[in-house]
Chain A
């Protein structure tokens, strides 16, 4: 008995320990040729759903970008380049209703034909008064009249008792003028009104041409008139020419119907696509021929082109018939079955450089190289996305050789970047951290107070000590690596004395106890942030300390994320907060900065209001010309920096560490392989040439290094 009690655990432990002898070490893994052909990426979280139409998390989109391919993407300089589309054209169709009541200078009242003749004449006449007007006219390629027409629309309206009543609206639309423009021109109608008369468009009253039945519901006639008969309309058009003979992973050829289907899958309300807002401005997606798609927009919306970087789904696997079959096969109700339930989301299929192989939840996702990839297959045979939820063990696995790349933390960068076995890359992230002030409340209504608060914080110290140097100052809401960012704006200086002077001008003076006060009221507020982000918590203490030093009574509070967002931010119940925005490349700032977005649950929660800024924000999202967009953005940046609705703190830097044995391999025309070192692009994207990467058995020597 005694000996069994001792023998059993001893044998067990010995058996377990000897398993060590069978495990491959770092060196042995390096000798394994299979291992060199595989790239293993470590990630903290698992992907959620591998369908570009449905996913909203970064882990999923990382995998999707390898499995799926969009029509376009961005090149080294963040400009658009064709992928599934070889090239594209953007032009505009503009419409306006003929306004018979308006008095046209030098013409008088004019019908459709008259107006067209008048405009044609203006286009031919060279002696123009205004350069901008003549540019708009020269941009018109075609002009024609569309005859008036009558049609009926049915709507639901609330009756007197609150019940829903169906109403019919009979519209007898007047003739309309249609113009095809060579380029999108958001100022077209402003310029035309210089010829047709200032109020030619604004005096057009759509309500006159509609009848509402039953008569009792005519109160909304004005609104219906505006909705159904808008005086003017811009319809930008994008025509994509698709790449021929591109194959999906199952060999099926990609064509325009796949593009149309992808759009429809997003717009299908039953799919609950989080991307629906991006495509809402689309009026129609038309297939002109199997290799040409035409997208017409309801209104000017320049972020539109960027949305077509979205991965394209294969229609032949996901059309309603296929989904029905899948539902039947799995014994589910075919009427309730949507794309969201489909197994496709667990084993996706696209036309990207890697094809899906296996997904084990919370363990790994394995992709294989797609040999028929249109741009030529990647060098790596396999890409593995491995989930390691702990930061420290990620580093350990990296040392052990079972992770090739992972998101390195600032404090790890320090020790890893000096190690000769590794190469490191770093760049600015797409996002920034800020302190936002609720400008509905005192004392933040005063710009000088906001500016003083910003001047009292030493951002350089935050970057050095909190971020271990892994950050850069930022002065405004645009991505620092794009040309939208205005580099001419200097960051606020760290100047507590100056801050005090500024506060004194604003009326806040030191009181008997050393606190700043105005009219007997102490300068006091609460700064909040969310639980679970240690960087923000550290900034919270630093800001509190810096402000207290100059006599501001700051309280702080750290709240659980859900409470923070739902109870405080969404309900606009806060004084000041620390938060961050992640951003896309597109400079559209409508949701965060436009004054129409200051209501509860909207994103301009600091209530930033500025007329010129509003105007610029609209212009930016309507402008299709890059240079002009840049001009507007720089001006907007200037205004925001002046107004200081946020204290812009920093944009973080990411760093990536790779084994030095990973290099770029290219094959020259004679078939000889050429190796070169991985170089990040100008915007800092080091994975841009991922498809050309390969791991060598030994660290290569490059001639340039000497």
Chain B
């Protein structure tokens, strides 16, 4: 066990190093350079541009720039070029906002997918199964932004309430009102964020259940005369859950990714939007920091899912 942890830690650090190089190169390969000023504004002279490049170390060779960026990042001194604020602080601020969306979205996805998927598996081929299949494919194939716009227009024109942002603007409500207002503003984006997840996950649950249901031990349980509920929810479900335990570790990177489209449409000040805007503005320190942290989260996530697998399935020895 300890040997596994040690080995995997070393592997992951090496991977991380390569990820850092590759993401650095990709960011630099993209055409264009960061600039706090508009190259087409006649007020800015070439000299000003040059001084900006120098300030950002853009005049140095690539490997030196690489060292500068990661030194700053690892010592926590990295500063966003757009507004001169520390990158880690910025990320933390945004992370807090995205976290709520993430938690609620995950909660909805995971609590809703299971009953929907299990029910479909039990009633295989029935009207319920077919309609959920249809709905699932509909949700997967409709672009998220379209769905979001439809929902926003519907809610605003029919209910006359604000839905954009993290809270109703211009109203300083307190206490319970404040909390509920926040909840309401969380509702639409998290449902939209969860919609795709529910569609995929419920399909997955259904397939797992079907597979397990056709196993011999399930037939045995049925033959013993156990009630259908007991067969489905105790014998079948427990075994079908196994792969989902490991999936839990893999949702970790979603924490930092956020959703660019949902966050932009709902003007939610989250991570996804920040990363996207950083990419458009070629704000290298922010892009690299987000990249680096999400790489760490991916690696930690796989590590956790490995461990979880070991815990739930005693047959596996690493």
How far is B163's CA from A252's CA once the two chains are assembled, in angstroms?
42
Contact A5 to B171, CB < 8 A, known contacts A12-B111, A400-B162: no
In the complex the two chains form, what is the Cα distance from A239 to B84 in whole Å? 36
Q: How far is the CB of A2 from chain B (nearest CB, A)?
A: 5
- Complex: how many Å from CA A9 to CA B152? 23
Q: Is the CB of A400 within 8 A of B156?
A: yes
- Residues of B contacting A592 in the complex (Cβ-Cβ under 8 angstroms): 42
Q: CB distance A274 to B36 under 8 Å? A: yes
**Contacting pair B32 A562 (CB below 8 A):** yes
B108 touches A12 (CB 8 A): yes
For the complex, what is the distance from the CA of A563 to the CA of B83, rounded to whole Å?
A: 24
Question: Are B43 and A35 touching (Cβ within 8 A)?
Answer: no
Contact between A400 and B180, CB atoms less than 8 A apart:
no
B153 beta carbon closer than 8 Å to chain A: yes
Distance of A152 Cα from B219 Cα, bound (Å): 105
Is B237 at the interface (CB under 8 A from chain A)?
Answer: yes
Q: Determine if B214 is an interface residue (Cβ-Cβ < 8 Å).
A: no
Q: How far is the CA of A389 from the CA of B270 in the complex (A)?
A: 12
B229 within 8 A of A: yes
Stretch at the interface among B4-12, B15-23, B45-53, B130-138: B45-53
* CB closest chain-B residue, reference A35: B170
What is the CA–CA distance of A239 and B104 in the complex, to the nearest angstrom? 63
A472 within 8 A of B: no
Contact B164 A397 (CB under 8 A): yes
Q: Which of B38, B52, B112, B162 is A23 in contact with, Cβ under 8 Å?
A: B162
Contact of B59 with A by CB under 8 A: no
B165 within 8 A of A: yes
Is residue A702 contacting chain B, with contact meaning CB distance below 8 A? Answer: no
Does B55 make an interface contact (CB < 8 A)? yes
> Is A704 in contact with chain B by the CB < 8 A criterion?
no
Are A563 and B32 also in contact (CB < 8 A) when A1-B237, A269-B51, A396-B153 are? yes
**Which residues of chain A in 379-422 are interfacial with respect to chain B, using CB atoms and an 8 Å cutoff?**
384, 386-390, 392-393, 396-397, 399-403
A23 engages B168 (CB within 8 Å):
yes
Question: Given A38-B170, A396-B153, are A277 and B115 also a contact pair (CB < 8 Å)?
Answer: no
Interface string of A575-618 (1 = CB under 8 A from B): 00001011000000001100000000111000000000000000
B314 at the interface (CB under 8 A from A): no
Interface string of A258-293 (1 = CB under 8 A from B): 000000000001001011111000000000000000
Taking a contact as CB atoms under 8 Å apart, the answer to whether B159 and A389 are in contact is no
Chain A: interface residue count, which band?
35 or more
Given contacts A19-B184, A23-B181, contact A29 B170 (CB under 8 A): yes
B65 within 8 A of A: no
Identify the stretch in B260-268, B294-302, B303-311 within 8 Å (CB) of chain A at 4 or more residues.
B260-268
Query: Closest residue of chain A to B178, judged by CB?
Result: A22
**B window 219-274: CB within 8 A of A:** 229, 232-234, 237, 264-267, 269, 273-274
> Is the pair A278, B43 in contact by a Cβ cutoff of 8 Å?
yes
Is the beta-carbon distance between B171 and A48 smaller than 8 angstroms? no
Q: Which residues of B contact A62 (CB under 8 A)?
A: none
Nearest-CB residue, chain A, relative to B33: A562
Which of these, B85, B104, B164, contacts A402 with CB under 8 Å? B164
A34 in the interface (beta carbon within 8 A): yes
B64: interface (CB < 8 Å) = no
Residues of B within 8 A of A49 (CB): 36, 83-84
Q: Does B31 contact A393, Cβ atoms closer than 8 Å?
A: no
Question: Of residues 341 to 387 in A, which have CB atoms within 8 Å of B's CB atoms?
Answer: 341, 345-346, 360-364, 384, 386-387
Structural contact, B44 and A277, CB atoms closer than 8 A: yes
User: With A20-B159, A29-B168 given, can you name 14 additional A-B contacts, CB distance below 8 Å?
Assistant: A17-B187, A20-B161, A23-B168, A24-B173, A276-B45, A277-B48, A346-B83, A346-B85, A361-B90, A363-B269, A390-B264, A561-B32, A566-B32, A592-B42
The 8 closest A-B pairs by CB, nearest first: A562-B32, A22-B180, A19-B183, A19-B184, A400-B162, A402-B169, A1-B233, A9-B111
Q: List 13 A-B contacts (CB under 8 A).
A: A1-B229, A1-B237, A20-B161, A21-B180, A23-B184, A24-B173, A361-B269, A392-B149, A393-B164, A396-B152, A400-B162, A402-B170, A562-B33
